[in-house]
Chain A
Amino acid sequence: MTDEHEDIILAELSDEDLVRQMHDDLYDGLKEEVEEGVNILLARGWQPYDILTEALVAGMTIVGYDFRDGILFVPEVLLAANAMKGGMFILKPLLAETGAPKQGKMVIGTVKGDIHDIGKNLVAMMLEGAGFEVVDIGINNPVENYLEALERERPDILGMSALLTTTMPYMKTVIDTMVEKGVRDDYIVLVGGAPLNEEFGRAIGADAYCRDAAVAVETAKAFVARKHNQLATV
């Protein structure tokens, strides 16, 4: 990098330049700078929801695309998500106060026997970044945990993750149990994890398989929109 860039003072940038700079800072995983940017925009009278969508979500979208395209990998995305979290922490209480619109709600968890939560955490953070309310029930979830969380939280979407050959069939166990209880069609079921594929996702009865966190956000948005349209026409 060159010297001329080290002198950027966020507070001296125009709104437009600052938002663009925040996209860069998110991409670079610079948490303090993102937090500073959020505070500056708030001080300039921006609505929390506008900061969320125009500065943070738009920035994370770029990160998501580069992750999907094999330009960024998990370490970089974790740093970016951490910077995003810093900004979200400031905005969250303000968003609740102002009653900002929600995209939808998701319960997400890794299945029984599986410890892996890197991908699941990325999906949770990216969805939160995209304006979803996310309830993360963690790792190693037996079917009872999923049912309980669905009952309690009444989400639009259930997200399940498995990274092991030995745990991915458990997603089918959960979906089969939902069918038995007659609640399968109350939810959009999205699945993910490295060993899976689209065909596998359909075969176990999920609505969709999401290859990565960026795809998960796009898929969640599309399904929630479709669900709302269906409700509107019924």
Chain B
Amino acid sequence: MADALTEMLDARDWLLADGATGTTLFNMGLDSGAAPELWNLDHPGRVRALHEGPVAAGSDLFLTNSFGGNASRLRLHDAQARVFEINRAAAGIAREVADGAGRRVLVAGSMGPTGDIMEPLGSLTMAQAVEMFHEQAEALRDGGADLLWVETISAPDEFRAAAEAAKRAGMSWCGTMSFDTAGRTMMGVTSADLVALTDRLAHPPAAFGANCGVGASDLLRTVLGMAAQGAERPIIAKGNAGVPKFVDGQIRYDGTPQLMADYAVLARDCGARIIGGCCGTTPEHLRRMRAALECTPVSPRPRLETITARLGALSSAADGTEPGAARPGRRRGRRGAAGQNSAS
């Protein structure tokens, strides 16, 4: 049986995802340092307003306000015992908004990273990571999420843990990583690595790709890298609306709606089938993205030069997928095998 997202993808060439959560909540009065996830309980009306933005702008799916809703992250706010309550509420609010849309809109249960480093580099075990994600996944499912949406991941093992949690919760899922360090994730994962990793999972995602990162051009280079691997699975592009600036006491991302409209069309031409924004992406950006996707004929896959000419420069010359690129973790190892590959 096909999941809801796959059904929708079968019927359409592309889907429009949503935009920013954190930056939107700031503009509604979220205090810096406070947990956005607690608003699902304390200010459900504001979270509803957050979701109504992308729905009105034409998004086909949107993410719940539960990015930091795992036990490890909520512990900061002494809310680790409320994971279930918070995530169920997050999915419940989103479900109501989606059901009231008057067309089919999917609720994707957002699950962000734990913030911990996994063994052997750090202390978080695979079992603990799976347990944390599983707890969150079950609550999002019970609250009415159509699927899970694992995002901004940087470590392969954390991605695997989320996949296992989705499996245990009996949910289909999407997974994206943040490629923010010289074209790779901070843990050194390349776009090609993520394709290979995804293909090897026992419970693979319905779609996968990149979110956040450092700007539209970088994100599309990552999408091109995934497409070049011949990825059969639908690719997700969810980039930031430019880079953050501090203007009049507020964070503003400098990417204009026009830039994001260009980005959306280029993302589709690069091979992405689920296209949205991340930090700084407002409903106005989404409206322009949808209009551009509807009105612009499909073009052949763009070259990197075309992308940078339209969206701006890349943050790094290479992204680790070029022939002969150094493999992180491949050490010189002059004194024997100790330490070899222990990082990969």
Contact A71 B251 (CB under 8 A): no
| B 85-101 to A, binary, CB cutoff 8 A, 1 in contact else 0 | 00000000000000000
* With A113-B33, A203-B245: A8-B334 Cβ-Cβ less than 8 Å: yes
Contact B331 A29 (CB under 8 A): yes
The answer to the question of B313 belonging to the interface, with a C-beta cut-off of 8 Å to chain A, is no
* With A79-B121, A166-B32, A200-B244: A73-B331 Cβ-Cβ less than 8 Å: no
Which of B116, B117, B214, B246 is most buried by chain A, counting CB atoms within 10 A of its CB? Answer: B246
Please report whether the interface of chain B is mostly helix, strand, loop or mixed according to DSSP: loop
The answer to the question of B12 belonging to the interface, with a C-beta cut-off of 8 Å to chain A, is no
Residue of B nearest to A196 (CB): B244
User: With the chains together, A197 CA to B116 CA distance in Å?
Assistant: 24
User: With the chains together, A129 CA to B261 CA distance in Å?
Assistant: 46
Q: How far is the CB of B285 from chain A (nearest CB, A)?
A: 15
User: With the chains together, A173 CA to B187 CA distance in Å?
Assistant: 30
Contact A113 B245 (CB under 8 A): no
Which residue of A27, A139, A173 contacts B32 across the interface (Cβ within 8 Å)?
A173
The answer to the question of B328 belonging to the interface, with a C-beta cut-off of 8 Å to chain A, is yes
User: Residues of B contacting A169 with CB < 8 Å?
Assistant: 26, 32, 246, 251
Residues of A144-203 whose CB lies within 8 A of B: 164-170, 172-173, 194-197, 199-200, 203
Which residue of A8, A25, A73, A200 contacts B186 across the interface (Cβ within 8 Å)?
A73
- Interface footprint category on B: 35 or more
User: With the chains together, A197 CA to B180 CA distance in Å?
Assistant: 13
Which residue of A27, A111, A113, A116 contacts B331 across the interface (Cβ within 8 Å)?
A27
User: Residues of A contacting B338 with CB < 8 Å?
Assistant: 30, 32-33
Contact B334 A28 (CB under 8 A): yes
* With A1-B334, A33-B335, A203-B245: A76-B329 Cβ-Cβ less than 8 Å: yes
Please report whether the interface of chain A is mostly helix, strand, loop or mixed according to DSSP: loop
| B 142-186 to A, binary, CB cutoff 8 A, 1 in contact else 0 | 000000000000100000000000000000000000101111111
The answer to the question of B332 belonging to the interface, with a C-beta cut-off of 8 Å to chain A, is yes
- Listed A/B pairs (23) with beta-carbon separation below 8 Å: A8-B334, A8-B335, A21-B334, A29-B331, A32-B338, A73-B184, A75-B328, A76-B328, A79-B339, A79-B342, A111-B33, A115-B73, A139-B76, A142-B33, A166-B26, A166-B30, A166-B34, A173-B33, A194-B181, A195-B244, A196-B244, A203-B247, A204-B246
Residues of B within 8 A of A (CB): 20, 22-23, 25-26, 30, 32-36, 68, 72-73, 75-77, 115-117, 121, 154, 178, 180-188, 214, 243-247, 251, 279, 316, 318, 320, 326, 328-329, 331-339, 342-344
